[in-house]
Structure 1
């Protein structure tokens, strides 16, 4: 079965005719950062969204640049940024093997369990009805937009059918995007996902942080659970 990617773009995208690729996506205001508006739109679809389809994931030059703000200067060692208010009742610290990587704290939905990870995986979480989440922190040499495009490409790799929507989701001035959609394997088994991806510079280098949540399609509780997991994320620079 042929794989296709449907990329949802907010107003301002220049698109080729049906069957073509996204050629450019410019934010309103000639590059002015766009605030995260993804959490307030039911179903994760922006009201101004339009769609196109391509046969392959978008390349870095065509990946939507929503949420791609200028990379901020590295924060001082020991600083804590993006502190949510109010703080979640239950949170998990996601810490990876790389001693220079940022340490994340994310909210844990009621009824979910959590455990630490290994390597580049900082934490794994499991919820009811086969819902799950994985927090990953990986060093990167790529710019924010190129890193997001590469992440989207790898996310869809191996799926016979894929759909992907991209929305702005900066995290306290760190470049970020929210990616949602459905992945299906060759047997037709479909998985819904909702990811928050953030580019974080530190004194040790740049890191791509992701909170990947997934569920079998049709699970009613997934929207609320994924929104909580991918919402405000506390970042501590070691």
Structure 2
């Protein structure tokens, strides 16, 4: 099967390898489209034109001046969503992530490291929050995550925007993933957190069947600025 990968980078020219990971189903705990078929076409890759004499910076990668002290909340948005859930894993040194929960969505603990939380919405929408240690610098960690996200899909699109948070490097990803018969749309927020002992990558992944109503609003809340805490 021939796969198509379209990478749209809105800040710098970067080639993104294709791949796919599907988020697991959430477990309801609180109550309050037909999928498009992909045709086989020759492989193409689209990127913004690069200036051969200039190396553009990786979107969302910012200097980290120092590692924060442990046992403190290092990031909290000014406007907190009314309903939130805390994602955490068994690693006692790992940071936590407190994300907003859209109205009518259910939430539960994750299914095991590195999955720290699961959320389930209407119309087939779902989300996961993962927290994983990484030996990589922010730019390399983001590229590895994007490769894993799109791996296995025959058609993918990836748009990348800066998504730095509280002085931590971060990116926003959005696009579609298709296995050749079904297509999902996704949005991700990934943040590289330098904890006292080692670095971690926090990722909020939201997906839905292509064209699911309300996806943009739900994804905007879930991938918005969230609270990061160190234990």
What is the aligned partner in structure 1 of residue 70 from structure 2? 77
1:106 lines up with 2:99 in the alignment: yes
CA contact (8 A) 2:4 2:155 kept: yes
Q: Secondary structure at the match of 2:123?
A: helix
Structure-1-length-normalised TM-score: 0.77
State the partner residue of 1:157: 151
Distance, in Å, in 1 between the alignment partners of 2:4 and 2:192 is: 26
CA distance in 1, matches of 2:176, 2:83: 28
Instruction: Give 5+ residue unaligned stretches, structure 2.
Output: 17-43, 47-54
| 1:119-134 paired onto structure 2 within 5 Å | 119-134=113-128
CA offsets, 1:59-103, max 9 Å, x none? xxx997110112342111111122112211010000101111001
> Could you list the runs of 4 or more consecutive aligned residues of structure 1 that deviate by over 6 angstroms after TM superposition?
none
| Partner residue, 2:34 | none
* Aligned-partner Cα distance in 2 for 1:72–1:97: 27
Show the 5 A alignment for 1:29-48.
Answer: none
Question: Per chain length, whose mean CA-contact separation is higher, i.e. which structure has more relative contact order (CA < 8 Å, sep 6+)?
Answer: 2
Which residue pairs with 1:173 in the alignment? 167
Cα distance in 2 for residues equivalent to 1:231 and 1:202? 21
> What corresponds to 1:236 in structure 2?
229
Tell me the equivalent position of 1:219: 212
Change (3 A) 1:73 1:4: farther
Distance 1:125 1:140, change over 3 A: same
Secondary structure of the corresponding residue to residue 114 of structure 1? strand
CA-CA distance at 1:14 after TM superposition = 5.2
Q: How far apart are residue 137 of structure 1 and its match? A: 0.3
- Tell me how far apart the structure 1 counterparts of residues 208 and 10 of structure 2 sit (CA, whole Å): 26
**1:7 shift after superposition:** 2.0
- 1:53 maps to 45
Structure 1: runs of 5+ lacking an equivalent? 16-20, 23-51, 55-61
SS in 1 for 2:204: strand
Q: CA deviation at 1:222?
A: 0.3
Give the 3-state SS of the residue equivalent to 1:170 in structure 2.
Answer: coil
Whether contact under 8 Å (2:157, 2:177) holds in the other structure is: yes
